[in-house]
Structure 1
Amino acid sequence: MPGATTPLHRTLNTATQDANNAAARKTCDNVWVPYDGKLLNCDEYPFASTEEGAAKGDGNYSARLIDAGDNQAAGRWLNSNYTLNRILDGDALSIAITP
C-alpha cells in the first residue's frame, strides 16, 4: 500500500484533491448505495491530499464509509500535522502504523 514502503506526496492542487475525492466517492457509491453524506462520509486512503490518491488511476487505494464526525476530525488532524511538520506541496511523507 502506498505510504508504507513508498512515500506519498502532498498536493495542494485542489483539482487533484477534488478528483481524488470524486474517485473515492464513486467507489463508495458503487458499494454502499444510497448514503446521504451527512451521517457517513466516504473516507479514502491514500489521502485525497496526496498525489497517490484514488484518482491516480492505478486502483491502489481503498475507500469506505465511516462516521462523518470521525472522518472530518481525521482530516483536521492530518492538516494540522502537515503544518506542524512543515510538509509542503510536493513533499514526500510516509505512514507508519504502530499498534
Structure 2
Amino acid sequence: MYEYLQIGSYSFLPPCNKFPPLTEDGPKEKIRMDSADYMFVLNPHFYHEGSIFANVQLVFYYDMNNSYFNVMLEAFQHHKDDLTSPGSLISGLQGKPPLTRMYSKYDLVQYNANRKAKDAACSKLSKPEGYECDEFPFASTYEGAGIGDGRFSVRYIPRAANNTHGRWLAAWYAYDRILHKINFILDLMSNCRCVGWMRLRVGTEPHQWYFLLNRMHDISTSIEILQTYQDPS
C-alpha cells in the first residue's frame, strides 16, 4: 500500500552529531509512505513499513574506495565494466534507462527466465574453484538476462563477493524502500553517502510523527493525502 502526503514543518537531525538539529518550514514535497511484507534485511529485521521522499532519484551507491566494501570489489568491478565499457547498452547509470526492481514472487515467470538465461551463459565459461557466476543487471530486475535482448553480462567472481553483494542489495531494497516495479540507478563513483534522520510533524498530537531516513542531498524538502493505491501483496 502506498500513501502520499505533503509535508511542511520538519526537523533534520544531521548524522554523527556534527551539526545542530534544524527545524523549519520547507517547500512542499511529497512523501511516499508504504507497507510491503517482503521488505527485510536479515530475519528477524523486517522493514514492512517505511517512508521516503517521493520525487528523489533512488540510487544504489558503489563506494569502491572504501575498504569496508573490499569483500565486494569483484562484484563492483564486474558491474562497473558492464556499465562503462565503450558502446555498452546496459541500463542502470545516470543518463541511461534505469533498472526496475522485480520481487520474484510477484513475477515468478520473468524471474525464472532471468535465472535460466544467466545459467546458460555461465555454463559457457570456465569456473574457478571457490567462485560463483555473477550476472548484471541483477536477477531481481526487469532488465535481467531473461528479457532476451542480450544486454547483460556474466562473470565468475569469488563466492564471498557474490554472496555478500546479494545480501547487501536485498538490504538496500529494504532500507531505501525499493518496491516491486520501482526504478533506481547505480552510482559507481560516489565515495560519500551522507545519511541523516528527518523527523516530520504531520499533526498536533504526539502520535502524529513519522520518521524518515534519507540522504542530506536528497532533501528538497507540508498536510494532505494526495493519493492512495494498492501494491499487490
Question: TM-score if structure 1 supplies the norm length?
Answer: 0.87
What amino acid maps onto 2:187 in structure 1? Answer: A
Question: What is residue 19 of structure 1 aligned with on the other side?
Answer: 113
- Structure 1 or 2: more helix by fraction: 1
Cα deviation 1:3-37 (Å, max 9, x = unaligned): 111111000124222321221121111122xx48x
The correspondence of residues 1-99 of structure 1 with structure 2, limited to 5 A, is 1-4=90-93, 5-14=96-105, 15=108, 16-32=110-126, 35=127, 39-98=130-189
How far off its partner does 1:69 sit?
A: 1.4
Task: Give distance in 1, aligned partners of 2:168 and 2:112.
Answer: 19
Question: What is residue 79 of structure 2 aligned with on the other side?
Answer: none
Task: Give distance in 2, aligned partners of 1:62 and 1:54.
Answer: 8
What is the RMSD computed on CA atoms of the aligned residues? 1.7
What amino acid maps onto 2:91 in structure 1? Answer: P
Question: TM-score if structure 2 supplies the norm length?
Answer: 0.39
Task: Give distance in 1, aligned partners of 2:139 and 2:150.
Answer: 14
What amino acid maps onto 1:22 in structure 2? Answer: K
When Rg is computed on C-alpha atoms for both structures, the one with the higher figure is 2
Structure 1 runs not aligned, ≥5 long = none
Identity, in percent, stands at 35
- Structure 1 or 2: more strand by fraction: 2
Cα deviation 1:54-83 (Å, max 9, x = unaligned): 011000001011111110100000000000
